[in-house]
Structure 1
Amino acid sequence: MGDQQKAPVKKGILGWYFNFNLLYRILIGLVLGALLGIIFGQKILWVAPFGALFVRLLKMIMMPIILSTLVVGASSISPATLGKVGIRVILFYLLTSAFAVFVGLMMGTIFQPSAEMATLASEAAGKAAADIPLSQTLINIVPTSVAQAVVNETVLQVIFFAIIFGIGVSYLRISKDDRLQKAGEAIYMVFDGTAEVMMRMVTAIMQYAPIGVLALVAEVFAKQGANVAGSLAIVTLACFSGYIIHIVLVYGGLLKLNKLSIRRFFKDAKDPFITAFVTRSSGGTLPVTIKASANLGIPKDISSFSLPLGATINMDGTAIYQGVCAIFISLTVTGHSFTLGQMGIIIVTATLASIGTAGVPGAGAIMLLMVLEAVGLPVEAGTAVAGAYAMILGIDAILDMGRTALNVTGDLTCTTVVAKGMGQLDKEQWA
């Protein structure tokens, strides 16, 4: 999910660049890159290092973001709070996110979006992952060495450790022993500070994204020609089809199962939905979502816990995006989709990674890096994977509008259903 924060007006020689909307800059970079690649062909390949730099910057921050945000997210939830409400809310969020990845994979399988690009090195990497059984992959989630997992960028192992470590920190923070409580707070503040620094680094790196996208896409079109352009429209169609199906089947189904009026729900849910779609920020939409929850008769003690938590760990729209884009990149690079084992890996990775997905521009794209790493398709400069990834990043802002709106709607749906299940929903508001 993205977060289109309003940046302060900047002055100076490059003020015009930084004050121009990042969404439009990235889209312009995508179009210019395609045009330059088509017009100049191999002569434009001198821009390739600028694209390689962007890829390296993204990969540089991937592991620190996973560690810091997941530890902070897990340690922010007090074990004492994880009672009936907490467990129900978290289960709903994780289950709907896992199903969303499945929807995304199905949309990718149905629409089969791909571009005619291939490299033998990337193809070998993709096929190597298929040889690992799903059972072994699940066992491998538990690292034997955390340091080695970080150095080798073994994403699932790092995610597993960060969550367990964060839960341990949460226990220290509520300890009655003053020494342990202070230690827990100190550890939390270190990771919280690190997470804040990483968020600012993401924001800074995304300012370079238009240039990086231009260079990467120019390289792709210079080498591959214009035969990749139509695939982006198919990716967009596949994602938005998944968003609509998820709202109708999952959210509509949950409301129906709990005998709640879908029309009544969307009467108030439409406000946060539209706000999230326009702003691309679930955090910025949170006040609107909380107001809608009050109108729906949800008690404050439930909404104040569930909705902010959902903004952190409930990423259904982002999960659908991961499934579609992963299949697009796999078909583009290897010529074939994923095996059932690899799809299982994607579901596990995307669901767990969603717990720590940051609410900043480009967060969904960084999460996609993690998913690709997990299935043996690392984004390396100069490869077809990097080229396909660059094309996805070029339309990421468009996809982000839909997935953020879906994320916010999911937060409100799950919170409503939990309140109904706990018998705390004000029925008068639904009369």
Structure 2
Amino acid sequence: MSQNAHKYSLTTRIFIGLVAGTLVGLLLQLVFDDSGDLRFTIFGYTFSTYNILVEGIFSTLGQIFIASLKMLVVPLVFVSLICGTSSLTEPSKLGRLGIKSIGLYIFTTAIAISLALSLALLVAPGSGVTVPADAAYTAQEAPSLSAVIIDMFPTNPVNAMAEGKMLQIIIFAVLLGVAMAMSGEAGKRIANFFEDINTVIMKLVTIIMNLAPYGVFVLMAKLFSSIGADMLGSLATYFFLVLGVLLIHGLVTYSALLKGFTGLNPIILFRKMRDAAQFAFTTSSSSATLPVTMETAQNKLGVGKSVSSFTLPLGSTINMDGTAIMQGVATVFIAQVYGVDLALQDYLMVVLTATLASIGTAGVPGVGLIMLAMVLQQVNLPVEGIALIIGIDRLLDMTRTAVNITGDCTVACIIAKSENELDEARFNDLDAGLKEEDVDLEHFDRNS
């Protein structure tokens, strides 16, 4: 079984799990009687097929998978943030270049999440959809916005990690990373230690994501064993809504920023981004695409090496516009499905949390779902709602990775222009980087 599984990419295996789980769930609906159960008696004991399969096996394995995702949240955010901020080693970059990069990345992410929330509220993908009675959820009263802002700053970071207070963890990790960057050799030694930890955590993420096809199967089987036709239509609405927002943000927002800040032609940027976007779409990993992204920025777009070598690796860590879009639409969708009315302060909380969470989102496949768990917890929505969208998320993950690396290169061009380190002749030359400096996509593992 494992040997055959490795013949297929993770995307294919998750899709197989999605289809198989859906078919099994729908089949169970046909088999069960009107009461939603099929009972049989052995040696005088009555057993419920529904309870054994759905509430027993499927529910247990599904909850274990959800718990595994939640388990990764704290270490992933903490270590990724420290590694990203501690890489700002030169004071000058921590000043001018660092502020420009981080500021633009956070600005584009805020636009992305705001756009996603606005269109999701307009379209209402989860409106009128109900979940099974056993999945009902009662929301707790959310704290005020001022209380949330005050609570962002930890008095005890260890306690914050133990209790999973992600905003406090983010603030502490950023401050610690900056302090490490300013501490010379001592900071470098500690940074190397965290880089090793980060490598191990990324491997753990890979292990969990390799189990995703099985997690998707049991979650979808449980979901579709009692789901109605309205949910099927709502999932389609959710899918195309996220896809549409990604395209709008990638084509309109980035075009406006590039044209407004530099006067450059965004069509040229998109044409030259095709190879990098194709690789990003295939791997669903900003980190895996980074070598191609950097070569594209330097050889095709004319971005100076000093800017690209700093801005693009930073972007692969903190610029997750596509993930923020998914989190915004998913939050509205799950809230509507569970019948939870979010107030204005809740949506502001989502914008703030998703924007900050993007800083700690590693550029590897599937991490967006882990960050979504954090966003849902901040506005008191059930993390179990991830089960509604996880089956189709891998397909969207491919698209949002392409959007993420396009945003990285857009910001790199803007910063290079402001620093007089952009070769505009190379940028405008449609043949630049396509001959002697062509990007060799075959050099990279497409299934990594």
Which of 313, 318, 325 is 2:318 aligned to?
Answer: 313
Q: Which amino acid aligns with 2:110?
A: A
Instruction: Tell me whether 1:111 sits opposite 2:115 in the alignment.
Output: no
Report which stretch shifted further, 221-230 or 353-362: 221-230
Q: For the residues of structure 2 that align with 1:275 and 1:57, how far apart are their CA atoms?
A: 28
Equivalent position SS for 2:20: helix
Instruction: Tell me whether 1:286 sits opposite 2:290 in the alignment.
Output: yes
Which of 201, 224, 227 is 1:224 aligned to?
Answer: 227
Closer, same or farther: CA 21–274 of 1 in aligned 2, 3 Å:
closer
Q: For the residues of structure 2 that align with 1:375 and 1:194, how far apart are their CA atoms?
A: 30
> Does structure 2 conserve the Cα–Cα contact (< 8 Å) formed by 1:38 and 1:226?
no
> Does structure 2 conserve the Cα–Cα contact (< 8 Å) formed by 1:141 and 1:157?
yes
Equivalent residue runs for 1:406-421 within 5 Å:
406-421=403-418
Closer, same or farther: CA 147–133 of 1 in aligned 2, 3 Å:
same
Q: Could you report, residue by residue, the CA deviation over 1:178-213 in whole angstroms, capped at 9, with x for unpaired residues?
A: xxx23x234323322222221111111122212222
Equivalent residue runs for 1:141-220 within 5 Å:
141-172=152-183, 174=184, 181-182=185-186, 184-220=187-223
Q: Which runs of 5+ in 1 are unaligned?
A: 1-12, 175-180, 380-385
Q: For the residues of structure 2 that align with 1:326 and 1:277, how far apart are their CA atoms?
A: 24
Which of 97, 100, 103 is 2:109 aligned to?
Answer: 97
Which of 344, 350, 356 is 1:352 aligned to?
Answer: 356
Q: Which amino acid aligns with 1:49?
A: T
Q: Which has the larger radius of gyration?
A: 2
| TM-score of the superposed pair, with normalisation by structure 1 | 0.87
Corresponding position of 1:140: 151
| TM-score of the superposed pair, with normalisation by structure 2 | 0.84
- Aligned-residue identity in percent: 39
Q: How far 1:122 sits from its partner (Å)?
A: 5.9
Q: Could you report, residue by residue, the CA deviation over 1:47-86 in whole angstroms, capped at 9, with x for unpaired residues?
A: 2211111112112222111211112212122251223222
Corresponding position of 1:422: 419
Instruction: Tell me whether 1:243 sits opposite 2:246 in the alignment.
Output: yes
Closer, same or farther: CA 233–360 of 1 in aligned 2, 3 Å:
same
Q: For the residues of structure 1 that align with 2:133 and 2:378, how far apart are their CA atoms?
A: 19
Which of 9, 26, 30 is 1:21 aligned to?
Answer: 9
Aligned length: 400
Corresponding position of 1:382: none
Closer, same or farther: CA 235–17 of 1 in aligned 2, 3 Å:
same
Structure scoring higher RCO (CA < 8 A, sep ≥ 6) equals 1
> Does structure 2 conserve the Cα–Cα contact (< 8 Å) formed by 1:101 and 1:323?
yes
Closer, same or farther: CA 323–332 of 1 in aligned 2, 3 Å:
same
Q: For the residues of structure 2 that align with 1:349 and 1:335, how far apart are their CA atoms?
A: 19
> Does structure 1 conserve the Cα–Cα contact (< 8 Å) formed by 2:137 and 2:382?
no
Closer, same or farther: CA 245–163 of 1 in aligned 2, 3 Å:
same
Q: How far 1:145 sits from its partner (Å)?
A: 2.0
Q: How far 1:121 sits from its partner (Å)?
A: 8.3
Q: Which amino acid aligns with 1:164?
A: L
Equivalent residue runs for 1:42-121 within 5 Å:
42=37, 43=50, 44-45=53-54, 46-47=56-57, 48-80=59-91, 81-114=93-126, 115-117=129-131
Q: For the residues of structure 2 that align with 1:68 and 1:324, how far apart are their CA atoms?
A: 27
Report which stretch shifted further, 22-31 or 396-405: 22-31
Corresponding position of 1:10: none
> Does structure 2 conserve the Cα–Cα contact (< 8 Å) formed by 1:156 and 1:374?
no
Q: How far 1:254 sits from its partner (Å)?
A: 1.2
Q: For the residues of structure 2 that align with 1:218 and 1:105, how far apart are their CA atoms?
A: 29
Corresponding position of 1:383: none
Q: Please, what is the CA RMSD of the aligned residues?
A: 2.0
Equivalent position SS for 2:422: coil
> Does structure 1 conserve the Cα–Cα contact (< 8 Å) formed by 2:282 and 2:398?
yes
> Does structure 2 conserve the Cα–Cα contact (< 8 Å) formed by 1:101 and 1:320?
yes
Which of 397, 400, 415 is 2:397 aligned to?
Answer: 400
